[in-house]
Amino acid sequence: MTQDGPAQEFDYIKRCNERNIGKILQLDMQSIRIRHELEQKRRGFTMMTRLAETLAHGQGNESIFIAASKRINATLNMQRTVVLLPGKHGTFRAAIASGYSPEEEKTLAAQSMAPDPALLDPEQSVIINGTSPEEHMASLRVALRLPYLVAAPIILNNEAAAILVTGRTVEQPPFMTKLGPGDLETVKTVSAFLAALLAGRRVTEAEERIKIMLDAMPACCVLFDENFRPVDCNAATLLMFAFTDKQEFLNRFHELSPEYQANGRISAEIFIERMQKALAEGQARFDWMHRTLDGEHIPSNIVVVRAKRGDNYILAAYIQDLRERRAMHAEIVQAQMELHVAREKAEKNAQAKSEFLANMSHEFRTPLNAVMGMAHLLNADDLTGKQREYVKNVINSAELLLKIFDGMMDYSAIDAGKLVLDKTVFSPRALIRKIVESTKQQARQKALQLKIQTDPDLPDALLGDPGRLEQILAHLAGNAIKFTDRGSVSIQAKHSTAPSGTVRLDFTVADTGVGMPEELVGKLFTPFTQGDASLTRKHGGTGLGLSVSHRLVSMMGGELHCASVPGKGSSFFFHVFLEQPQARGLEQSPQTAPGAGQAESGTRSLAGMRVLLVEDNDINQMIALELLESEGVAADVAANGIEALEALKSGVYDLALMDIQMPQMDGLTATEKIRSMPEYADFPVIAMTAHASPADREASFKAGMNDHITKPIDPQLLYATLRKWDRRAAF
């Protein structure tokens, strides 16, 4: 060995020691990093355990984030932690901040940040340390005042429900390592754990909501598994079956049905069939009889619905208690029976009322016909002035009595819903002329001016009920004259085209009479009411006329109103809707009612006409014969329908005047038999009867009569009707 040998050996040993020391130090550094990462993971798991405990204590999401941010700072040796929550238009806001001063927290809360897409990617996470470029996420680092950070999204339902950001203001604080993969892995784990906590919380909340909804349902609900075992129920079910413990109910569910159902089959067999049907088809509905533990039977209707639960199915049975419904149904049936009985009773009462009114009408008109007939006959004789005045007063009083009676009958018919409007083609102008003719004498007696104003182009023919329209106008005009002592009474008529091809007629009847205060106008159309009792005493009246007129106008689709000023007069105005004959394919020439517009036949002589008078009442026979003979009409009398048929076989007549109510054979039956005789198919038969209702008139026409005039007999109307049906005019 040379002299240099020991020195070389020493150098070799020195170099070996240096290399070993470096390796030892390197191993120590690796050991420190491993221990740091293990410690980070341990702290992370400890933190997640405490967060789970926080959630278990029912804390809200915000509380969880606050606890997480504080524990991250303490556990992972971070200085600041922020939780970003979604804001508007794709931005995020710093909802939770830990490690900041109050002023910094306010500044952060006021900011909206648009994070880098990498922060929203569930497959990525971000770490920024001393080796990262300065521009990398510079805006986020500046906004959060975190130059060194680790961030990871919290993903729920494939969306970023939040972004967890934690970091330091300096890269490597004393006694700490730099941010590295271990920190990144821990933050990712914490984010995933927070997402799992929140997802679990959502599931728990959803289950709680479902339970609340089930318990809040008024209907009973029982859940069954695929083996048809009850596994859950809602509160209504326990209440229905009188249970307080759910598990007891589930255990004893099959005890809550009788052994047999109403169809005689075993309950258990039917239950299995229905549940199998629901499981196979998705739904089953059936009636069922339950029974409580106390033995009370509960009729019910059950709907079983199949629902998916994971890889399996559950069956939800909704049970409807039918006890209340059946009790209600029984009450309804009872009420319907009572209503039926009440309706029958009401119909019988209405029928009795109608029959009573019809009989009363007949019994009233028959003697009144004698009074008025005798008065007309007396008036035709040679009388002194005083006697003629007496007769005139008798006729006027009888006509007033008839008017009052007719008003009562009309009101009763309208009130019972039995008044039917006619559909006849008539001339509005002729109708107004008739009103003028019937009222001008009254106006002349009081020296009143009667003014008439009509549209120049008023339609020549309309389809409606001229009799009822005349009744309304006559009543309004008569009232106007009655309550006017000086001045004038005016009648105006105009028309306009209405929808659906109808015509609207507007009428106004105005006077310069006593008038009424406004508070009394509203009472005018109330039955049996007149504006002022003193007027009733002075002028008479029942208070029915305006009520009947008002309801007749309503039946014609219109309205009746009144405007009045005390001391200056009143105006009554109404409108009705009428059809045009051509719209119904009818002949447009108006058919004039008997007594209206008969000027062309009014002078034609009736002398030589032969009439068969069919009448059972001796006084009515005498009056009719006198009226006919005064016009040169020859008449034979038959006391009933049988005698009338015999008379027609042996005599020749131009027409027959037929009473309706007669012994042995009434006028309707007699007319039907006359119409069955070929030689009398066109023979004019005119009802002359005390039966005056629209139904009576319709019955006359249905039996085959040609016309219908009512008692008391108006001589002029009788003569006009005879002229109308005088067949001799054709020869």
Given a contact cutoff of 8 angstroms between Cβ atoms, the answer to whether 602 and 723 are in contact is yes
**Confidence band of 497 (pLDDT split at 50, 70, 90):** confident
690-721: b (≥16 Cβ within 10 Å) or e = bbbbbebbebbeebbbbbbbbbbbbbebbbbb
The two tokens of residue 169 are: 């203001």
pLDDT digits (tens, 9 = 90+) for 641-656: 999 999 999 889 999 9
Determine what percent of the chain is predicted with pLDDT higher than 90: 31
Residue 537 in this model has a pLDDT that exceeds 50:
no
Beta bridge partners of 286: 302
Given a contact cutoff of 8 angstroms between Cβ atoms, the answer to whether 80 and 166 are in contact is yes
The two tokens of residue 42 are: 């341990």
Separation of alpha carbons 159 and 490, rounded Å: 86
Beta bridge partners of 306: 315
**Confidence band of 600 (pLDDT split at 50, 70, 90):** very low
Residue 13 in this model has a pLDDT that exceeds 50:
yes
Q: Concatenated DSSP letters for 389-410?
A: HHHHHHHHHHHHHHHHHHHHHH
Q: Could you count the other beta carbons within 10 Å of the beta carbon of residue 649?
A: 9
**Confidence band of 178 (pLDDT split at 50, 70, 90):** confident
In this structure, the chain runs to a length of 731
The candidate with the shortest Cα–Cα distance to 525, out of 467, 576, 479, 583, is 479
DSSP secondary structure code for residue 442 in this structure: H
Q: Concatenated DSSP letters for 452-518?
A: EEE-TT--S-EEE-HHHHHHHHHHHHHHHHHT-SSSEEEEEEEEEE-GGG-EEEEEEEEE-S----H
Separation of alpha carbons 397 and 403, rounded Å: 10
The two tokens of residue 343 are: 């309706």
The two tokens of residue 148 are: 């060194």
Is the Cα torsion angle 210, 212, 214, 219 positive or negative in sign? negative
* Residue in this structure with the two tokens 């929808």, named with its chain if needed: 499
Higher pLDDT, residue 314 or 39: 314
* Residue in this structure with the two tokens 């109910």, named with its chain if needed: 249
Mean pLDDT of 130-147: 86
* Residue in this structure with the two tokens 């549940």, named with its chain if needed: 275
In 188-274, beta strands by DSSP E: 220-224, 230-233
Domains, in order of start, for the chain: 17-204 (3.30.450.40), 217-321 (3.30.450.20), 428-584 (3.30.565.10), 610-730 (3.40.50.2300)
Residue 273 in this model has a pLDDT that exceeds 90:
yes
Residue 576 in this model has a pLDDT that exceeds 90:
yes
In 194-337, beta strands by DSSP E: 220-224, 230-233, 283-291, 297-309, 312-321
Given a contact cutoff of 8 angstroms between Cβ atoms, the answer to whether 667 and 657 are in contact is no
Given a contact cutoff of 8 angstroms between Cβ atoms, the answer to whether 168 and 22 are in contact is no
* Residue in this structure with the two tokens 């819903």, named with its chain if needed: 417
Given a contact cutoff of 8 angstroms between Cβ atoms, the answer to whether 577 and 556 are in contact is yes
- Could you tell me which residues come within 8 angstroms of residue 540 by beta carbon, excluding any fewer than 6 positions away? 400
Q: Calculate the CA dihedral of residues 169, 170, 176, 181 and round it to 10 degrees.
A: 80
Mean pLDDT of the chain: 82
**Confidence band of 601 (pLDDT split at 50, 70, 90):** very low
* Residue in this structure with the two tokens 């001393």, named with its chain if needed: 130
- Look up residue 699 and give its amino acid: A
- Look up residue 359 and give its amino acid: N
What is the DSSP pairing of strand 230-233 with strand 503-511?
Answer: unpaired
Identify the pLDDT of residue 530. Answer: 55
Identify the pLDDT of residue 603. Answer: 65
Phi/psi of residue 452, nearest 5 degrees: -125, 130
Identify the pLDDT of residue 24. Answer: 60
Identify the pLDDT of residue 412. Answer: 74
What distance lies between CA 671 and its chain's CA centroid?
A: 51
The candidate with the shortest Cα–Cα distance to 421, out of 455, 387, 382, 466, is 466
Residue 596 in this model has a pLDDT that exceeds 50:
no
Identify the pLDDT of residue 373. Answer: 79
Higher pLDDT, residue 560 or 38: 560
10-46: b (≥16 Cβ within 10 Å) or e = eeeeeeeeeeeeeeeeeeeeeeeeeebbeebeebbee
Identify the pLDDT of residue 517. Answer: 87
The two tokens of residue 323 are: 């006890």
Class of residue 408 by CB neighbours under 10 A (exposed 0-12, middle 13-18, buried 19+): middle
**Confidence band of 360 (pLDDT split at 50, 70, 90):** confident
| Of 366-375, 499-508, 699-708, the least confident | 366-375
Identify the pLDDT of residue 9. Answer: 66
Mean pLDDT of 253-260: 92
Helix, coil or strand: residue 46: helix
pLDDT digits (tens, 9 = 90+) for 616-628: 989 889 989 989 9
**Confidence band of 51 (pLDDT split at 50, 70, 90):** low
Is the Cα torsion angle 702, 404, 509, 419 positive or negative in sign? negative
Separation of alpha carbons 101 and 446, rounded Å: 106
Mean pLDDT of 75-102: 87
Residue 524 in this model has a pLDDT that exceeds 70:
yes
The candidate with the shortest Cα–Cα distance to 319, out of 297, 291, 290, 295, is 290
Q: Could you count the other beta carbons within 10 Å of the beta carbon of residue 51?
A: 20
Identify the pLDDT of residue 508. Answer: 94
Identify the pLDDT of residue 595. Answer: 39
Separation of alpha carbons 305 and 303, rounded Å: 6
Model confidence, pTM? 0.49
